[in-house]
Amino acid sequence: MINYIDKTIKFAKDLGAKECDVIVSGQDTFSLKADKGELGEYKKANSHSLGIRVIQNGKVGTSFTEALDDDSIKETIKKAMENAKFSKEDPHQRIVAKSNTINDKNPKANISHSPTPDEMIEKALYLEDEVLKREKLATNAPYNSVAEGTVQLHLGNSLGVRCSYQAKTYSCFTSALLKDGDKNSMHYKSSVKRDFRELEFDQCIDESIEVAKNLLHAGQLSTGDYNVTFSPDLFQDIFGSFALMLSAKGAIDKINPWKDKIGQKVIDERISFIDDPFFASGFNVTPFDSEGFNKQKNTFLENGVLKSFVHNSATASELGAQNNFCASRGPKSGLSTSFSNFIIEAGPDSEDQLKDIDYVEITNAQGLHSGTNSISGEFSLGVSGRVYKNGEIQSYFKDVTVSGNFYKILADVLFVGDKLHNASDFTFFTPTIIFNSLSIAGK
């Protein structure tokens, strides 16, 4: 793939594009699905694409191709150059990373055991069969899968950057669809690991059944104000809906609600936001950003005080800030920013104290796109979850609506736990955070 990058940059220079960078990405997947006791899907897929960004006279043009023959690459370069002519001038977007060389085959991915197709088929059938065996109310496990995926990312530019990364992951998930009379419910659980042998097949089965069974006859909470926490997976999704608060581009466009808050206390002082591409438990460990700079650990918010936005070289230049090397770009997209492993640091409150707090944990939500406003912070979501009293699950609930303002509740926190919990994809880590008195509309 590096050869394709070298070739593309040579072609670009020959065609008059002196300032450019090239990204080549590839993905190999092998996935299996069970359906009524038989193999319902046996799918192998291979995809790759090459994208080029050229900068001419302060104007940026991008284009991509999924065909890697010489003629297709040359046509892609010409199209990017043509696109640049019609783009708005952007003096801050330049090719600036120089002479960086990285070749990283993630050591976490190079494991000694690779499963055979027969092993993966056996587990796919197991995920469906065991749901039906373990729960008499289960009518189906409609969503289930075992998969292997390998990703490659290669980056080069006209200033000598050549960076490569490869990683392999294994994943599985299953679901439990339960029916009792005219009531039904469903839940699913996934597991992602670097080593196939570490996949939590039985945990996926048991949790899918347990949650679906408890939700089957769950009722509504009474309308009122409740202390609320969110499961790590759901909190990851909600946080992503409001990540505008850390966006440098949002500050430039004057839509970031914290655009003028650098150096100021914006949320509870027990909370800090970290992004760490080297975090030992994290799965997003690409060592370079999409401009070819070495990534680094960043603190965006420390003890409630906003320290920095998320930057690439262009936003840093425009705001007169330090680049923190969070550039993100794919073959088919323009320059942006993204997190690596996002960590809300553990707080001072012992989780042993949770037994003294009555609260609800929200585990599922509907309407994350339609029910959130990233600029104002307002949200209103249909949710389900469970009630905790004395440190134990007392009951489950569903069909209620939680509402509030995300930026305000971050400043009105009851509890910040002293242990980190991960989302299923191991790229988001958070302590248990209990927010004060959120409004829930129910019965």
Residue 251: per-residue pLDDT: 98
The pLDDT assigned to 110 comes to 47
Q: How far apart are CA 98 and CA 158, in angstroms?
A: 9
CATH 3.30.2290.10 in the chain, residue ranges: 2-212
Q: What is the pLDDT of residue 103?
A: 81
**Per-position DSSP letters for 38-69, written without gaps between them:** EEEEEEEEEEEEEEEEEEETTEEEEEEES--S
For 12, left (φ over 0), alpha (ψ -120 to 50), or beta? alpha
pLDDT of the residue at 315: 98
* Encoded tokens for 267: 């949320």
Measured in whole angstroms, the distance separating CA 95 from the mean position of its chain's CA atoms is 27
CA–CA distance, 283 with 150 (Å, rounded to integer)? 13
For the entire predicted model, the pTM comes to 0.94
Cα separation, 290 vs 284, whole angstroms: 14
Q: Give burial (CB, 10 Å; 0-12/13-18/19+) of 45.
A: exposed
Q: Return per-residue pLDDT of the chain as tens, 443 residues.
A: 778 999 999 999 999 998 999 999 999 999 999 999 999 999 999 999 999 999 999 999 999 999 999 999 999 999 999 999 999 999 999 999 998 888 876 555 545 578 999 999 999 999 999 999 999 999 999 999 999 999 999 999 999 999 999 999 999 999 999 999 999 999 999 999 999 999 999 999 999 999 999 999 999 999 999 999 999 999 999 999 999 999 999 999 999 999 999 999 999 999 999 999 999 999 999 999 999 999 999 999 999 999 999 999 999 999 999 999 999 999 999 999 999 999 999 999 999 999 999 999 999 999 888 999 999 999 999 999 999 999 999 999 999 999 999 999 999 999 999 999 999 999 999 999 999 999 999 99
pLDDT of residue 106: 56
Please report the pLDDT score of residue 105 as a whole number.
Answer: 64
| pLDDT at res. 104 | 72
Q: What end-to-end distance do the CA atoms of the chain give, in Å?
A: 59
For tokens 């420390």, the residue is: 302
- Residue 203 neighbours by CB distance under 10 Å: 11
Q: Which CATH superfamily is domain 2-212 in?
A: PmbA/TldD superfamily (3.30.2290.10)
pLDDT at residue 108, as a whole number? 55
353-358 long-range contacts, Cβ below 8 Å, gap at least 24?
Answer: 353/415, 354/388, 354/391, 354/415, 354/417, 354/432, 355/390, 355/391, 355/392, 356/391, 357/227, 357/388, 357/414, 357/415, 357/434, 358/227, 358/387, 358/388, 358/389
Distance between CA 410 and CA 416 in Å, rounded? 11
- Is residue 40 within 8 Å of residue 33, measured between CB atoms? yes
